Amino acid sequence: MQLKHYSLTLLTILVVFFTACQDEEYALPTLEGGLHNDCIKRTLGPNVVGLNLEFAYAMALPQAEGKIISAQVEASIAGAPATYMENRSFSTSASGADVPVTVGSASVNTGTKTEVVFSKDTCAATLRYYYIIPEEARGKTVKFTFSAKASNGQTVSYEMGPYSIAKMDMKLDLVLSDNNNSYISIADMAVYNAASAATNAANIDLVYLYRVIPGITFTHALVSPASSPDYLPGITLPSGVNKSTKIWKVWALRDQHLARLQFGVFIDDIDFEKLNFTGAPDYAINLRAEAGTWVETADGKYRAYIYCNSINNTAKTMTVSIKRYPMQ
């Protein structure tokens, strides 16, 4: 028994030594021939109409085999007119800055295709593609086929997607002003003054006001027109403005699309779908910068997130950005 154990141990040690003494000689890697390509998506978060989807498409072949003559992207749904592909390839300088090198003529959009024809004799390039999400893509999925051609006749392609395009809308930097542009319409994604609010009474969902009341903290507020007069001090509502909007107050939900700050937080369609407004109040007072409110319109047609970008106590203003999701 003991002898067997010794033999086994000795054998193990020998195997380890033998393996450790294997001489691994370095060999230069062999260059793989032919045209190759790769692609990454650079944008994060939900894909909202009007924003872009950014990709970096890389293509290369050995110098001896030829040069790249064109790069093309075909989207399943044509991008908005501003869609383009960079005709410059970027490298990174020692200080980390992007250094562009023009490799071809400006991209041309033809239907669903975007193409760059190379004018420089180059065998490797990485081009960025900016797909501006069109209205037609709302609520659908979109996918892309990147392809490149080389002077030796070779072609390569790379599929990306499908990517879901959000149903929600977005409006940035609406300036609310106490006693002036203080009426918010979620349906219109707009702010109105009292006169305009009277003509759009059916669409007014919230009233903005700023009050300094001794003994209590009121300051900046978003209040439903049908709320208690306690929360609308000094407000005479235009005729017909009487909706009851549900509001949940939120703190520090800094959606990156709305806030444009460093926080990697995004509100997506599913967040609106999962909200529960049962028992929600119809007012939110004492709002601060970087606060927000989830809102549901009286008819239940829309849900929205109103983010407070900034407040100004002197000017009695509040700048907000809105994401809105249609529930029906």
Partner 1 sequence: MKKYFLTFIAITLVTFAWVSCTDFPVDEDGLLITTRGQCYVGNFELLGVDFQTVRTKAAVIDTTAQTINVEVFFGTDLKNVYPQFSLVTDAKLDPKIVGKVDFSDLANPKVYTVISGNRLVKKPYTVYVTVQAKP
Which parts of this chain interact with partner 1 (CB under 8 A)? 1-2, 213-218, 230-231, 248-251, 279-281, 283, 285-286, 291
Q: Which is nearer to partner 1, 214 or 264 (CB)?
A: 214
CB of 279 to partner 1, least distance (A): 6
Q: Which is nearer to partner 1, 133 or 285 (CB)?
A: 285
Give Cα 51 distance to the centre of its chain: 7
Task: Tell me the C-alpha to C-alpha distance, in Å, between residue 215 and each of 211, 218, 219, 248.
Answer: 12, 10, 12, 24
Measured from the Cβ of residue 283, the count of other Cβ atoms closer than 10 Å reads 20
Q: Which is nearer to partner 1, 19 or 217 (CB)?
A: 217
Sign of the dihedral defined by the CA atoms of residues 53, 251, 219, 311, in that order? negative
CA separation for the pair 249, 253 (Å, rounded): 10
Which H/E stretch holds residue 12? helix 2-20
Q: Which is nearer to partner 1, 219 or 321 (CB)?
A: 219
CA separation for the pair 47, 160 (Å, rounded): 14
Q: Which is nearer to partner 1, 34 or 234 (CB)?
A: 234
CB of 214 to partner 1, least distance (A): 6
Half-sphere exposure (Cβ direction) of 311: Cα atoms closer than 13 Å: 20
Beta-carbon contacts of residue 103 (< 8 Å; ≥ 6 apart): 68, 87, 88, 89, 116, 118, 119, 120, 122, 125, 127
Structure tokens at 239: 């005729």
CB of 267 to partner 1, least distance (A): 15
CB of 213 to partner 1, least distance (A): 7
Tokens 């392609």, residue located = 157
What is the SS3 assignment for 276-289?
CCCCCCCEEEEECC
Q: Which is nearer to partner 1, 52 or 293 (CB)?
A: 293
Q: Which is nearer to partner 1, 228 or 239 (CB)?
A: 228
CB of 251 to partner 1, least distance (A): 4
CB 212 within 8 A of CB 219: yes
CB of 195 to partner 1, least distance (A): 29
CA separation for the pair 245, 241 (Å, rounded): 12
Query: Strand 183-185 relative to strand 190-192: parallel, antiparallel, unpaired?
Result: antiparallel
CA separation for the pair 192, 207 (Å, rounded): 10
CB of 191 to partner 1, least distance (A): 23
Q: Which is nearer to partner 1, 48 or 291 (CB)?
A: 291
Q: Which is nearer to partner 1, 81 or 214 (CB)?
A: 214
CB of 316 to partner 1, least distance (A): 18
CA separation for the pair 283, 227 (Å, rounded): 7
